[in-house]
Amino acid sequence: ERGFYAGTVGWSDASGDGDWMVTIRCAEIDADRHGAIAWAGGGIVAGSDPDDEVAETEAKLRTVLRAFGAA
C-alpha cells in the first residue's frame, strides 16, 4: 500500500476564488489514538543540493512532530 505522501488541500467557489496548497507534511493517527505515523517530503530538481534537501525535509518533519509534542 502506497499510503500518504503528498496531495492538495484547499477550497474553491463557483466564481473561481480559492486557496490551495501542496501537503508535503502529514500524519495518520491510529484509530485508537495511541500512535501515529508522520511523513515529510520535498521536491528534487536539477539544482537541488542533497544536503540542503535533507535539512529541509528534517525541518518539515519537526513541525509535524512538534504538533504531537514529540520534537
pLDDT tens-place string over residues 22-68: 888 888 889 998 999 888 888 889 999 999 999 999 999 999 999 98
Question: Contact at 8 Å (CB) between 64 and 26?
Answer: yes
Strands (E), 1-71: 7-12, 18-23, 25-29, 36-40
pTM: 0.65
d(CA 10, CA 5): 17
